[in-house]
Amino acid sequence: MDKEEFAKLVDIVLATSANPPAELFAKGYDDWHCRARLAHFLSMPEINKLPQAKELFISVKDVEPDEADSQDIEEKVYAMQHLSQLEKDEEDYENALNHINLAIEAAESYDFLYKYILRGELWAERWNLLHLLNQTEVAEAEVNERIEVFEDIPIEHNSYLYYGYRFKAQLAAEKGVALIAKDYMHMALKSMEITTEYKEKLDKAFAAEHENISWILAEIDKATPNPDNLHWDI
């Protein structure tokens, strides 16, 4: 992609209902932040220019974010996470795994508590990709390692534990073991902030007595607060 095509794509995005501020792209193609931001918009369903989005995301995979700036690191991590998701949607699991690994490496290299990125969610995406690549034992071993490291740490809202136990619940559901899947989800939710409003919905979802555990887990997810909107300690 050259600067001229980049500028044309910016014009396309600015003319859509997404209507982002033009300042997001003001520094042009040479600024990796602008390329990453444009890629996010190009991958939106209403714009749907996935090849161009992937090209732009890939162009930032080797950039070094400012290690003193958590927002800069987060922007790099989010670009790799989004690229990985696009590749997962295309069933290109090997490349998706490579790029979520880059996101994890960038996020874990610093001690910041990020505003938007959850380390546990990044690891969960890696575990799900490993599962799709028939490397479930590797994923389970990593989950168990994270749980062992973090379970006794006095941190109330822990994304590693939430996503780790949630992954174990999903595996139990695939095996048709409803009670174990429910137990793992109970343990997952202990690491999340649950208000009374959500507790009542969750109690109802857990109370289902039939054996369609996949449906039950889906209902539990619907009743669970959006992790993106919660406070996390890690």
Torsion over CA of 71, 153, 226 and 68, rounded to 10 degrees? 0
Neighbours of 180 (CB within 10 A): 16
Q: How far apart are CA 102 and CA 36, in angstroms?
A: 15
Q: What is the pLDDT of residue 124?
A: 98
Cα–Cα separations (whole angstroms), residue 161 to 53, 78, 101, 174: 32, 21, 19, 20
Tokens describing residue 98: 């490579």
Specify whether the CB–CB gap between 72 and 45 falls below 8 A: no
Q: What is the pLDDT of residue 76?
A: 97
Which strand (E) or helix (H) includes residue 43? none
pLDDT at residue number 72:
95
pLDDT along the chain (234 residues), means of 10: 94 92 95 97 95 97 93 96 98 98 95 90 98 98 96 91 97 92 95 90 89 90 92 90
User: For residues 107 and 44, what is the distance between their CA atoms, to the nearest angstrom?
Assistant: 24
User: Among 56, 51, 19, which residue's Cα sits nearest to residue 38?
Assistant: 56
The helix/strand/coil state of 59 is coil
* The predicted structure's pLDDT at residue 41: 97
Q: Which two tokens stand for residue 77?
A: 């991590």
- CB–CB of 103/81 below 8 Å? yes
In whole angstroms, give the CA distance from residue 218 to residue 224: 10
* pLDDT computed for residue 113 by the predictor: 85
Give the three-state DSSP class for 6. helix
Closest CA to 233 of 164, 161, 155, 148: 155
